[in-house]
Structure 1
Amino acid sequence: MLNRRQCLFGLSVCLLAGRSGLSSAQAPTQPQTEIGIGEYRLGPGDRVRVQVFNEADLSGDYDIDGTGQISLPLIGQMTAGGQRVSDLEATILKALSNGYLKNPRVTVVVLTYRPFYIYGEVRLPGGYAYVNGMRMVNAVVLAGGYTPRARQGRLLITRLIDGKKTELEGNDDTPVLPGDIIRVPERFF
């Protein structure tokens, strides 16, 4: 007869085997239109830190202005809006290598992201600071929660994708990105 420890061990082995047997068709998938923060493109309202190794005078914190520009020492005005962080690093590196420094090492870090906005059937509509890893449910909570008339679980998101404003439908688990405009619709009953 099996003792209690052997039964628990056998049960855990069965459970693990069952979980690892999920096919990719059964695994939850994300919509094709969903863009993660790794794909994030800089824009007006973002604040970045540019660090040039061993060059304190060339390093600093910069706000991306309304036209998508930053002004760097030696280089001057440079377009940052619409670029990924890695693209901006490469652009600055190329500009500094062009007669200013030999083998510069450049790092760009986003210090603060532009805010997201939420309106409609929430208690406190407005603009809120973006935090990495945010989901729509977090945005609704920041906005004071749903009103009694809200159509919960369905959110409309206006997001800039490839330079075009695109309206997407989301739920509480959809990721929020900086600059998103979220509308919580009213229910009809």
Structure 2
Amino acid sequence: MKRFSLLALKLFVGLALVSCESVSDLPPIENEQQFGEYLLGPGDEVRVTVFGQPELTGSYLVSDSGEIAVPLIPGVEASGVTADSLAERITAELQSAEVVLDPAVSVEVRTYRPFFILGEVAGPGSYPYVSDMTVLTAVAIAGGFTDRGRRDLFEITRARDGTTLQGQAGPEVRIQPGDVIRVLERYF
């Protein structure tokens, strides 16, 4: 019986160390200020205002293909650009299609795409993003930690400029829309 207990203990400690190593090997995820302006992506909702053109003004959802469908012009690529760049693209499309001679367009983000949280939280899933959220705020929105949830180190997967970044983060790191947060399990 002692031999079995010792083997079980070694296996448990080995698994704990392996899981800790995988997260600690990941590079740290930095706060969002270093990334500059927010880039739109599928799931974001934008408010497009074409001054003097109420039939073109409205809220549009960035589709899975990364476009928005503004009336009278073909789909406008919105994914991966800022709100200001999208306004410039819509202006160019309206002029090109000769729909409006001298359009004045503004774009603002109305609703950000959700963030996702999984692992050791009470309510894993998808939640609406709120500006200036931290990892700890996201955990609170998801119902808090489970009894086994690790509170000092998290794993974040983030899409940025067409690539996927995966890294470790502390509770104070700001998250971005579309981030996937994994709350790790603590073993002791």
Q: State the TM bucket, normalised to the shorter chain.
A: 0.7 to 0.9
Task: State the partner residue of 1:7.
Answer: none
Q: Which amino acid aligns with 1:83?
A: V
TM-aligned CA deviation for residue 143 of structure 1: 1.0
After TM superposition, the score normalised by the length of structure 2 is 0.79
1:176/1:33 CA distance change after superposition, 3 Å: closer
Equivalent residue, structure 1, for 2:46: 48
Within 1, Cα distance between the matches of 2:65 and 2:100?
A: 28
Q: How does 1:19-58 map to 2 (within 5 A)?
A: 33-36=30-33, 39-58=37-56
> Which is greater in Rg?
1
In structure 2, what residue type is equivalent to 1:127? S
Q: 2: distance between equivalents of 1:154 and 1:175?
A: 13
In the alignment, structure 1 residue 68 sits paired with structure 2 residue 78: no
How far did residue 32 of structure 1 move?
A: 8.0
| Structure 1 match to 2:124 | 125
Equivalent residue number for residue 110 of structure 1? 109
The residue aligned with 2:86 is 88
Name structure 2 gaps, 5 residues minimum.
1-27
TM superposition shift of 1:102 = 2.7
TM-score (norm 1): 0.78
Aligned length: 159
Task: Kindly provide the amino acid, as one letter, of the partner of residue 81 in structure 2.
Answer: Q
Give the aligned residue type for 1:111: R
Contact 2:31 2:175 in 1 (8 A): no
Q: Residue 97 of structure 1 corresponds to which residue in structure 2?
A: 95
Please tell me whether the aligned partners of residues 115 and 178 of structure 2 are also in contact (alpha carbons under 8 angstroms). Answer: yes
CA–CA distance in 2 between the matches of 1:185 and 1:54? 52
Task: Output the CA distance in 2 between the equivalents of 1:102 and 1:67.
Answer: 29
Structure 1: distance between partners of 2:175 and 2:150: 18
